[in-house]
A = this chain, B = another copy of it.
Amino acid sequence: MSLNLQTYTEHFTNPLYLESGRILEPYDIVYETYGSLNEDKTNVIVICHALTGSHHAAGTYKDESKAGWWNGLTGPGKVIDTDKYFVICSNVIGSCFGSTGPMSTQHPHHEPYRYKFPVVSIKDMVKAQRILFDRLDIHRVEAIIGGSMGGMQALQFAIHYPNFAKKIIALATTHATQPWAIAFNKVAQEAILKDPDFQHGYYDPDLIKEQGLAGMAIGRMAGHISFLSPESMRQKFGREYKRTDGLYELFGKFQVESYLEYNGYNFTKWFDPLSYLYITKAINIYDLSRGFDSLSQALSKITADLHLISFQNDLLFKDFEMQEIANTMKQLRKTNHFYFNVESSYGHDAFLVELDKFDFYIKEVLNG
């Protein structure tokens, strides 16, 4: 069968009530679907994307060579089998790929929100998705799956909409963002804010895409350190130089420097700096226990089967953070939770790269 990739935009006129007390109104959500919804709507799987991800999780657009970010996992006959499941992935609010974000036009004005865009939280992102699914007349799904910020969303779904999903699979994430992850975000935020081309938020988005924004590139470089690990960096780059002629030993550029430069500056061509500020803020303030007395009280709401997958040597969300969720579930005498610590030296991005180290586990979970 084919992937049956479809991209849609839904427009909402009812206000979205945010955690901050503010509202977002109106707003759009862009989403993608793969496979086909069965008649009794019992074959839905929701995929949630990470910080700079999008609704484009699988398949390849016409005239593009790069496939969706979880294409290796999602498609006909694959682990998230679109021959069997109807898969939905939506772009989070605050992002820059079509869902309403800081550079969207602020109705009824004709200018972008920029800083007038409200602070959104992971819980808000999830709420918006829940409203989208309501619109699609989908009220219960087989599973919600996501890594990194996508895992945060999966966990928020589990707590705030306990009857919505049968199974929750959260990868490479945490119950509350820890100071080292906040620190990496801080470097990026500060670098963006202090870049004069950012113009205090009043930049020209086309110009930034064309010329780059050094501050965001620098921040992204710091990010890339947190996505890898010493082991994978050693394997990938060692102390190799980009060129090996001339006085390279003293004056050359290391491959790791070249990698960071390329990825840093390339990033500014496809991501928006205000979205980066808003989404890293959402990640920083993410804490499952907010609104509850404790993490334990928050987790007690969960009724779905909870699958926690962490990666050894993940520098951004350390494996012990997922272990803490598992331990708390255990203390609650919950029996429907499972913890799998993947042996990996790759680092955080293993959830995007080393699919063969955990795809069998997800397959097993989905097949029950």
A interface residues with partner B (beta carbon < 8 Å): 19-20, 119, 121, 176-180, 182-184, 186-187, 190-191, 194-196, 214-215, 217-218, 221-222, 224-225, 228-230, 233-234, 236-239, 247, 249-251, 254-257, 260-261, 264, 284-285, 287, 290, 315, 318
Contacts and interface: CB of A to CB of B under 8 A. Distances in A.
Contact of A222 (B217, B222, B228): B222
Contacts of A261: 186, 190
B190 A225 contact: no
Among A178, A250, A287, the most chain B Cβ lie within 10 Å of the Cβ of A250
B186 A257 contact: yes
- Nearest first, the 8 closest Cβ-Cβ pairs linking A and B are A194-B214, A179-B256, A179-B233, A179-B237, A180-B230, A186-B257, A191-B218, A187-B222
Nearest to A22: B250
Contacts of A195: 194
A250 B119 contact: yes
Given A121-B250, A179-B237, A237-B179, A186 B230 contact: no
Copies held by the complex:
2
A256 B236 CA distance: 31
8 contacts: A121-B250, A180-B228, A180-B233, A182-B257, A183-B224, A187-B218, A194-B214, A194-B215
A237 B19 CA distance: 24
A182 B121 contact: no
Contacts of A182: 239, 254, 256-257
A239 B289 CA distance: 12
Contacts of A260: 183, 186-187, 190
B249 A190 contact: no
Contacts of A287: 239
Contacts of A224: 183
A215 to B, nearest CB: 8
Given A237-B179, A249-B290, A254-B182, A225 B121 contact: no
A16 to B, nearest CB: 15
A238 B121 contact: no
Contact of A318 (B230, B255, B264): B230
A249 B183 contact: no
A228 B315 CA distance: 13
B233 A218 contact: no
Given A178-B234, A318-B230, A183 B251 contact: no
Contacts of A255: 179
Contacts of A217: 190
Contacts of A315: 230
Contacts of A183: 221, 224-225, 233, 256-257, 260
Among A224, A257, A290, A318, the most chain B Cβ lie within 10 Å of the Cβ of A257
A190 B214 contact: yes
Given A182-B256, A186-B260, A234-B179, A119 B251 contact: yes
A249 B184 CA distance: 19
A295 to B, nearest CB: 12
Contacts of A233: 178-180, 183
A4 to B, nearest CB: 39
